[in-house]
Amino acid sequence: MLVVFCPFAAGYFLSFFFRNVNAIISKDLAGEFALTPADLGFLTSMYLLAFAAFQLPLGVLLDRYGPRRVVAALLLCAAAGALVFGLARDLGTLSLGRALMGAIKAFSLWFPLSRLATLNGLYLAVGGLGSLAATAPAEAVVEWLGWRGMFFCLSAMSLAAAVLVFFVVPEKPLPGQGQTLRTQIAGFGRVFSTLAFWRIGLPLVFGQGIYIALQGLWLGPWLYDVAGQPRHAVAGYLLVTALGYIAGSVFFGVASDRLAQAGISRMTVYKLGLSVSLAMLALIAAGVQTGLAALLAAYSFTGISAALAYALLTPLFPPEMTGRVSTAANVLMFALSFAIQWAIGAALKLYPIVDGRYSPAGYTAALSVLVLLQLAAILWLLPLRAAQPRL
């Protein structure tokens, strides 16, 4: 188990670090490159756009060639992206590096479905450690090496992770081996035409899509501009959200599997976690600052419950389609995150910017729209009593 878990976990750690680190260096980038809010949102979201654009081909590649070779190749791209980002001298080069930076599949090949939520939860917890490292620890590295020096180090770490995945993870026969490429691509039509995929998947798409957009960028500026926090305090609050994410990953993964054995379905846990997360997001949108650390921790802790959708979706389809099921959900989630990160910046640009701070009214307007979108997705899910049997 460890020879599979640890190498992929190393790559996942770096993936989450890349995804979230711009929240710490956003003011550095905006100052050095004279970026508008829309520029900053677009730059940060390039990671998500590239990730979303590659998800459907990735599903085919994972089912056809397996995670060992595919993930190793992607980590090499991430290493190149971090190097380009660190050397950048203009917005275009920054965007290219960010895009290049952009494996739950592995667990579905090695471990039984009865343990999938637990293993996914532990895997996401490692990703949460990457988010945690992208807060106060990242700020300390930036203070020491500068943001460019930090990305040179990340490039070397990504290269090392690629070598680890390729040479340590064993091969395993793939359920879809022998299928034609045309058959594999056609499998996406089967996924997207399944109503249960949309009813279960959309709360994941909105719940995690919004969280990624906020934790990866806009929560940092919100803490500066709305809560009036200094830089070191912003890093501390982002650390709190990362800790909440880690704790929630383990809790919802382990608890959902154990409660399922006790007769309480994963669907029930999924709905409950999503509902509490929505309530916390609504409080953030309203600008509530009383008990801010607890509020942010509760939002990130319950927000990760959206990832239970993967364990709910996987049994709906044959084993040879697990890579495509996950990436079908991911393409929607990361495309939405890209749109949200850019759209929040565009919305803030409509409001006055005073002394480098964006308007609290702009944040309220943008976040309120996100609350309504997530509410609509949850309301469509609630009547669904249980996952349907495998097709």
Average pLDDT over residues 305-331: 82
- Here the tokens at position 378 are 């949850």
Predicted confidence at residue 1, as pLDDT, reads: 60
CA atoms within 13 A on the CB side of 271: 14
For the stretch 94-117, pLDDT in tens is 777 776 655 344 444 445 545 555
Mean pLDDT for all residues in the chain: 82
Contact 229, 223 (CB under 8 A): yes
Lowest mean pLDDT among 166-170, 174-178, 361-365, 382-386: 174-178
For the stretch 47-69, pLDDT in tens is 777 767 776 676 667 667 777 78
Determine whether 195 is exposed, middle or buried from the number of CB atoms within 10 Å of its CB (0-12, 13-18, 19+).
Answer: exposed
Average pLDDT over residues 220-243: 88
Predicted confidence at residue 390, as pLDDT, reads: 47
C-alpha 370 chain-centroid distance? 17
Domains in the chain and their CATH numbers?
2-169+181-381 (1.20.1250.20)
The one-letter code for the residue type at 67 is P
Predicted confidence at residue 172, as pLDDT, reads: 67
> What CA–CA distance (Å, rounded) separates 36 from 353?
10
Q: Which residue has the higher pLDDT, 182 or 354?
A: 354
> What CA–CA distance (Å, rounded) separates 25 from 146?
10
Q: Which residue has the higher pLDDT, 196 or 136?
A: 196
Average pLDDT over residues 227-231: 86
Around Cβ 258, how many Cβ atoms within 10 Å? 12
Handedness of CA 204, 209, 215, 221 (dihedral sign): negative
Work out the pLDDT band at 175, boundaries 50, 70, 90. Answer: low
> What CA–CA distance (Å, rounded) separates 94 from 100?
10
Work out the pLDDT band at 46, boundaries 50, 70, 90. Answer: confident
Report the interhelical angle of 322-349 vs 181-192 (nearest 10°).
Answer: 60
